Amino acid sequence: MKRILAFLLACLTVLVLSVGVTGCKKDNGTPPAGTTDAGSEPTGDVTTGGGEADKRPVCGDFKGADYWMVIDGGQDTSRYINDEDSDTSSVPTLSWAFYNRNSFLEEYFNIKIHMRKLEKKYGMNSELTMMMNSGADTADIVLAIAADVMPSAIPNGYVADLNKLEGLNLGASYWDQRIQSGYQINGKLFTLEGDFTVFDELCTYGVLANGSLWGLWGYYDTYGSPLEVVKDGKWTYETMCAMFRDRSDLNNGSGEALTKDSKWGLLTESPLPYILYLGSGKSTLLTQEDQSLKPVFTERTEYALCQDMLDKLLKGIAENGEVLFADVRF
């Protein structure tokens, strides 16, 4: 897997890096350092991909609470810089996306974001328990090991309970994975990622484009260059799926050919099976009638099925070599 991704990523060019925040503004409306006015709340209602208008959640002051972003021990923490005084001479664009997002969130929520790297690959439950007992107000999982966190840590209460957080509107129709072109910081698009974070719209999202295949498949003529697509505001989730539908010869695991109505599982840089689970149109969390959340991806049998999906996808990629996108979520 690592060899395949190393080969793919070697020829990938950055298409778009998106930084998600909420539309919660302080009274003075002053953008935090490292952002532009484009990071503030857009005027009027926000329309989702479904066309309906949504009111933004009203959030309060978290009074300097610690917000821990827990990172899988196998990940590079240099991407999560959160210090103005750090040496940033060689910091890639992705790291600046994280920095701008975190600076914005610290200012608007009045929180302090800390990064914590969990070194024990299969010891997350005990480490998360220690964190929560040490007085950390909130803990979130970033690129955690799905086999350990999803089946056990969440139902056992080792991850923060979304239902107890202030300023959260779980019943809003925008609680979904939708790209909002109206939300930008430094020209980066925003996306809603309710399944990946304790705050809606708090996810850094990047899509890498294979420049060679982009040209080979005629997308320069159809869509323009990747940069032009983003700058012109034409980059949407629907556009990406249309590109998949146009070229894919994989099947959906049932032996049926992919169609415009098929659900899509995307290859990720960190190929965790639960991301395929989400990409197939399912959710790790179920909103019940009382608007409380219930984790549904908690059985190792489901994890095994998703791992099987991943194996089949990688086999298909290895056989045909035609991969246009690698989906990167943090």
Local mean pLDDT, 10-residue blocks, the chain (330 residues): 29 28 28 26 29 40 70 54 53 54 69 68 57 56 45 47 43 38 34 33 46 73 77 62 52 41 33 42 54 49 55 53 40
Listed in sequence order, the residues at least 6 apart from 306 whose beta carbon sits closer than 8 Å to its beta carbon are: 146, 273, 274, 276, 277
Listed in sequence order, the residues at least 6 apart from 101 whose beta carbon sits closer than 8 Å to its beta carbon are: 19, 20, 21, 185, 202, 204
Is residue 296 within 8 A of residue 285, CB to CB? The reply is yes
Is residue 233 within 8 A of residue 270, CB to CB? The reply is no
pTM: 0.38
Dist. CA 79–CA 91, nearest whole Å: 8
Question: What does the radius of gyration of the chain's CA atoms come to, in whole angstroms?
Answer: 20
CA 148 to chain centre: 19
C-alpha distance from residue 59 to each of 73, 83, 183, 293, 310 (Å): 32, 25, 17, 19, 38
- Tokens of residue 308, six digits: 């099987």
CA-closest candidate to residue 330, choices 121, 105, 18, 10: 18
What pLDDT is attached to residue 14?
30
Dist. CA 181–CA 250, nearest whole Å: 30
Range of the domain at 296: 2-329
CA-closest candidate to residue 312, choices 261, 284, 270, 276: 276
- Tokens of residue 296, six digits: 């549904």
User: Which strand ranges, in their side-by-side order, compose the sheet holding 204-210?
Assistant: 12-19, 204-210, 325-329
Task: Assign residue 7 a region (left: φ > 0; alpha: ψ between -120 and 50; beta: otherwise).
Answer: alpha
What pLDDT is attached to residue 113?
74
114 beta partners: 68
Count of the separate structural domains present in the chain:
1
Per-position b or e across 173-194, b if 16+ CB within 10 A of its CB: ebbbbbbbebbbbeebbbbbbb
What pLDDT is attached to residue 133?
57
CA-closest candidate to residue 266, choices 203, 176, 195, 327: 327
Residue found by looking up tokens 């700058």 in the block: 231
Residue found by looking up tokens 């793919």 in the block: 8
